[in-house]
Amino acid sequence: MPVSAFICGCAGPSLTPWERRFFREAQPWGLILFKRNVDNPAQLAELTASFREAVGRNAPVLIDQEGGRVQRLGPPHWPVYPSAASYLGMAGEVEAAARLVHLTAQLMASDLLAAGINVDCLPVLDVTYADSHRVIGDRAYGSDPAAIARLGRAAADGLLAAGVLPVMKHLPGHGRALADSHLELPVVDVSLAELEASDFAPFIANADLPIGMSAHVVYPALDPDHPGTTSAIVIQEIVRKRIGFDGLLLSDDLSMQALSGTLRDRAEAAFKAGIDIVLHCNGNPDEMQEVAGVTPPLQGRALERAAAALARLRPPVADFDPVDARTRLNSALAMAV
């Protein structure tokens, strides 16, 4: 049965009979989880196993486990991790911060893998600005593109070392946005030269990573008429050529209010622009069916990119001791207080 070029969510902590049938028939490439899906480690492992049983293959399971404000696994069963913006302050300089970021990413990946989750939507490579909306804010590593590139690489390497795929986001840059794309359409009205000098740089430095996620942002200097996710100019000319990313490109969530039109319209526009796999997160059955109804099979270059991404999955490095790693991270956090 062909795999479809979309990722979807589910409604709660266990699959409903309808969801099991839908996953079996629609064959989404993967499942993405949120706090509504997470209760405890045993329950989460059962949920991910149930999804893979429904689709009949070892399909990817994704989550946004960034640390700070965006952490789907948390207390009492999982620890709180630092926000991206805190590392430079804790460590004092970039290379020391990179070591902490790498360590934290390995720990987070260990948590995820134990629950059957093998893709983390991290690192956030957006460059922040003083007047930008806090929707990114401390989710980013700061305002210096070179430091962001280095810390983002450390996060990606830490995840990969522990057997989890990273997803860099939000291509080609969400950090200047003055609005929350979950609620409305942001417009980043600066020149191509300014974007290239700053916003694109962390993505260029990490263009060899296996998976990226698009931004629902309009860049008038690039395409005044379409958000990045549905803009062939942004996807083909900027993300693929100028940034040089040839990995698997996911859309951000199609149900976010930055996009207009029906779910069908949004999905079709994203595929037309050059997105490889669309993402629909909220677990609404009617919307899931609408997206599935217009999603093509994963084929051609998108299929090759998906296979190449999954080929980057490796068993966790043998010498990683999560108990020792957590002690070292806690020590660094204590010293920073």
- For 1-37, write each residue's pLDDT tens digit: 899 999 999 999 999 999 999 999 999 999 999 999 9
Cβ neighbours, 10 Å, residue 314: 11
The vertex-100 CA angle with 96 and 104, nearest 5°, equals 170
Q: How far is 33 from 59, CA to CA, in rounded Å?
A: 13
For the chain, domain boundaries: 77-275+298-336
| pLDDT beyond 60 at 294 | yes
Question: For residue 331, what pLDDT band results from cuts at 50, 70 and 90?
Answer: confident
Backbone angles phi, psi at 301, to 5 degrees: -65, -35
Structure tokens of 265?
A: 């319209």
Nearest Cα residue to 241 out of 269, 217, 222: 222
The contacts of residue 75 (CB under 8 Å, 6+ apart) are none
Question: For residue 228, what pLDDT band results from cuts at 50, 70 and 90?
Answer: very high
Handedness of CA 293, 298, 301, 302 (dihedral sign): positive
Mind telling me the catalytic residues?
182, 252
pLDDT, tens digit, 9 for 90 and up, residues 235-276: 999 999 999 999 999 999 999 988 999 999 999 999 999 999
- Percent pLDDT > 90 in the chain is 85
| pLDDT beyond 70 at 188 | yes
Does 77-275+298-336 carry CATH code 3.40.50.300? no
Q: Which residues pair with 33 in a beta bridge?
A: 63
| pLDDT beyond 60 at 182 | yes
Length of the chain: 337
In one letter, which amino acid is 22? F
| pLDDT beyond 70 at 336 | no
Evaluate whether 247 touches 210 at the Cβ level (below 8 Å).
yes
18 HSE (CA, 13 A, CB side): 9
Segment 102-112 mean pLDDT: 96
| pLDDT beyond 80 at 335 | no
The pLDDT of residue 35? 97
What does pTM read for this prediction? 0.96
Classify residue 134 by burial, with Cβ atoms within 10 Å: 0-12, 13-18, 19+: exposed
Question: For residue 337, what pLDDT band results from cuts at 50, 70 and 90?
Answer: low
What is the layout of strands, in order, in the sheet containing 28-33?
A: 165-166, 119-120, 61-63, 28-33, 4-8, 277-280, 248-253, 211-214, 168-171
